């Protein structure tokens, strides 16, 4: 009987194709859009990902997200080092700086100043050079994407040449020499990222009374991060978060203060409603057209349970085919966008949720169609 149900489903190629395309489109959008959303959200805290998971991030209490720089006085560093449970604490500067290009134009960059002694928080993935090379005079490390695009040098014939080791960059009227190229995660603003030492960063940027952006803290082995964070808040008045807390605070800021979540949510919801409506209506019409076949089977002795199974199998097969095509399309899409500026983060939970939603559509559609089949009187089929 199930084989007959499948022949009935694929026999009407037009409606079968319409059902599969509708569910495939729904699956594609419901998988691709959340993956794009999470990719954009991952950009917002990419700096935390590249810096590494220190035990605590200490900053001004008014900081709302990772790029919201509110500098502190350098004396705060010594106050944090004196808190019980802190093994060591190092300074970090994060801010903006202008790089002057060969053609006279300026490019805004993200400048990161690392502790002069330990260089903690520096890029872990070095394409060329070594992190220790930052100890050379006037040295900087540039991320490979920024060096290849926005900071690329123009040759005499107009061709762009990527910034390389040994090239000199003018940062806020200061001379800086490239000693390394790093590979970093894409930032939310897609600006080039330049690493140098903390003391040199203070020399590069305009003189201000407060330049300390973050304090990176390592705890003693027996220390509780939550307890030490509370001690830091009480002793210094600063905010202290672990990696996950700071990441969550950053993502929450962008969700609350931008329309990203609403825009993606609307597109996903509309795709689901439209695809489900088209697929449901088409499958229901398909069932109505085949009522005479179900009537014949019912007249030959097929029970309501058997007919219900046939309709359910038809709906599930069409749903599985559409789901496979949609998710497969996302896989092909992700293959072509990997390495581009398009952000895409396909978590395993996304296809799972999409599959459950498609299953829900198929089951509801099947239930509506089964109702018509069960109420069908076999004698109606044989009426003239």
Predicted model pTM: 0.84
What does each C-alpha distance from 313 to 290, 302, 319 come to in angstroms? Answer: 15, 16, 10
Regarding beta strands 106-114 and 214-219, do their DSSP bridges make them parallel or antiparallel, or are they unpaired?
unpaired
Report the pLDDT value the prediction gives residue 71, as an integer from 0 to 100.
94
Residues 6+ apart with CB under 8 A from 97: 108, 109, 110, 111, 171, 172, 194, 204, 205
CB neighbourhood size of 188 (10 A):
19
Report the pLDDT value the prediction gives residue 147, as an integer from 0 to 100.
92
Regarding beta strands 193-197 and 174-182, do their DSSP bridges make them parallel or antiparallel, or are they unpaired?
unpaired
Report the pLDDT value the prediction gives residue 382, as an integer from 0 to 100.
59
Angle, CA of 31, 35 and 36, to the nearest 5°: 120
| DSSP letter, residue 205 | S
Question: Do you know the residue count of the chain?
Answer: 384
Report the pLDDT value the prediction gives residue 368, as an integer from 0 to 100.
85
What would the DSSP string read from start to end of 123-144?
-S-EEES-GGGGGSTTEEEEEH
Strand (E) or helix (H) holding 110 = strand 106-114
Report the pLDDT value the prediction gives residue 342, as an integer from 0 to 100.
65
Angle, CA of 367, 5 and 369, to the nearest 5°: 20
| DSSP letter, residue 156 | T
How many C-alpha atoms does 217 have within 13 Å on its Cβ side?
Answer: 35
What does each C-alpha distance from 2 to 12, 19, 84, 307, 368 come to in angstroms? Answer: 16, 19, 71, 9, 19
Report the pLDDT value the prediction gives residue 384, as an integer from 0 to 100.
46
Low-confidence stretches of the chain (pLDDT < 70) are: 1-2, 156-158, 338-342, 378-384
């Amino acid at each position: 009987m199930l084989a007959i149900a499948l022949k009935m489903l694929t026999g009407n190629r037009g409606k079968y194709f319409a059902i599969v395309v509708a569910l495939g489109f729904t699956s594609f959008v419901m998988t691709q859009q959340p993956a794009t959303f999470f990719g954009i959200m991952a950009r917002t805290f990419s700096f935390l990902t590249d810096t590494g998971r220190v035990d605590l991030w200490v900053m001004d209490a008014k900081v709302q997200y990772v790029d919201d720089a509110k500098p502190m006085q350098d004396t705060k560093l010594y106050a944090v080092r004196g808190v019980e449970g802190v093994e060591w604490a190092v300074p970090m500067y994060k801010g903006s700086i202008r790089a002057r290009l060969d053609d006279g134009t300026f490019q805004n960059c993200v400048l990161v100043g690392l502790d002069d002694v330990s260089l903690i928080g520096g890029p872990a993935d070095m394409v060329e050079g070594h992190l220790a090379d930052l100890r050379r005079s006037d040295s900087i490390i540039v991320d490979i994407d920024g060096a290849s695009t926005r900071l690329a040098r123009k040759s005499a014939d107009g061709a762009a040449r990527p910034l390389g080791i040994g090239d000199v960059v003018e940062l806020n009227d200061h001379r800086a020499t490239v000693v390394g190229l790093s590979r970093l995660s894409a930032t939310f603003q897609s600006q080039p990222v330049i690493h140098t030492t903390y003391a040199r960063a203070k020399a590069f940027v305009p003189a201000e009374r407060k330049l300390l952006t973050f304090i990176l803290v390592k705890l003693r082995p027996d220390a509780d991060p939550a307890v030490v964070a509370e001690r830091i808040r009480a002793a210094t008045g600063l905010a202290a978060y672990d990696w996950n807390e700071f990441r969550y605070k950053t993502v929450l800021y962008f969700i609350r203060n931008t329309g990203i979540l609403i825009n993606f949510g609307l597109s996903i919801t509309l795709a689901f409603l439209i695809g489900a409506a088209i697929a449901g209506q088409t499958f229901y019409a398909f069932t109505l057209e085949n009522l005479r076949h179900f009537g014949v089977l019912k007249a030959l002795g097929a029970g309501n349970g058997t007919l219900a199974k046939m309709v359910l199998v038809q709906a599930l097969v069409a749903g599985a085919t559409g789901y496979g095509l949609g998710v497969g399309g996302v896989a092909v899409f992700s293959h072509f966008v990997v390495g581009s500026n398009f952000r895409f983060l396909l978590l395993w939970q996304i296809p799972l949720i999409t599959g459950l939603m498609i299953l829900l559509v198929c089951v509801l559609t099947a239930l509506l169609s089964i109702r018509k089949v069960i109420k069908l009187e076999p004698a109606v089929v044989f009426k003239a």
